[in-house]
Amino acid sequence: MNKDWELSQEAFDALLVWLDSDREQAALKYEDIRRRLIKIFTGRGCLEPEDLADETINRVTHRLEEMQKNFSGDCALYFFGVANKVYMEYLRRKLPQPMPAPAPDPKRIELEYNCLERCIDRLSESDRNLLLRYYWIEGQTETEYRKALAEELRIAPNALRIRVYRIRQALKLCVEKCFEQSLG
């Protein structure tokens, strides 16, 4: 679309005439179409649904003269077709990129790793072995391996997940406490 083109009063009036010969009905149709366009763009997660709806209406209005010759049927459908193109362009636009995360502090990583090792050593032997076996998967899919591990332990797969979750939670608390003590 020509970026210099702006919606004039004459173009808007022509749009209303195309929507309906009765100006009141045309205004109602226009508002309904705009509302539905906003709803469509909002439903698709667009950050600026009103602007995209207005852009769609402007594009239809800009091409109205040549389009009227070939189009017959429900006018709203034409708007929705143009809205799909506007949405595709919206997706292709380069959205602002988030700031990259700061580089991790090597000393902090080393300290957390040391705390993790200490906390793993503090686990009971059975909990440590279970945790290590749960995440040490070789030669099978994760699901198959964990199902076999649950069968070997003679427990349900869900019970295995719960046990490992509880061990991880205890490990997490231990690492956090160790880290805080190391800093303080």
Is residue 99 one of the residues assigned to a domain?
Answer: no
* pTM confidence score: 0.50
In this structure, are 77 and 140 located in the same domain? no
- pLDDT tens for 58-67 read 999 988 888 8
In this structure, are 173 and 125 located in the same domain? yes
Q: Of the residues 68, 92, 116, which one is the last residue of a structural domain?
A: 92
In this structure, are 139 and 74 located in the same domain? no
For the ranges 109-123, 136-150, 170-184, which has the lowest average pLDDT?
Answer: 136-150
In this structure, are 80 and 121 located in the same domain? no
Secondary structure (DSSP) of 112-167: HHHHHHHHHHHS-HHHHHHHHHHH---SS-HHHHHHHHHHHHTS-HHHHHHHHHHH
Q: Sorting pLDDT into bands at 50, 70 and 90, what band is 24?
A: very high
In this structure, are 110 and 76 located in the same domain? no
Is residue 101 one of the residues assigned to a domain?
Answer: no
* pLDDT reported for residue 52: 94
How far apart are the C-alpha atoms of 112 and 120, rounded to whole Å? 12
Q: Of the residues 92, 124, 139, which one is the last residue of a structural domain?
A: 92
Region class of 148: left (phi > 0), else alpha (psi between -120 and 50), else beta: alpha
Q: How many residues does the chain have?
A: 184
Residue 168 has pLDDT above 90, yes or no: yes
Phi and psi torsions of 7, nearest 5°: -70, 120
- pLDDT tens for 110-124 read 999 999 999 999 999
Task: Count structural domains, the chain.
Answer: 2
In this structure, are 114 and 151 located in the same domain? yes
- pLDDT tens for 36-62 read 999 999 999 888 999 999 999 999 998
Largest CA distance in the chain: 84
For the ranges 9-18, 79-88, 164-173, which has the lowest average pLDDT?
Answer: 9-18
Q: What is the DSSP letter of 57?
A: H
In this structure, are 73 and 125 located in the same domain? no
Residue 135 has pLDDT above 90, yes or no: no
Domain span at residue 127? 106-183
Q: How many of the other CB atoms lie within 10 Å of CB of 9?
A: 7
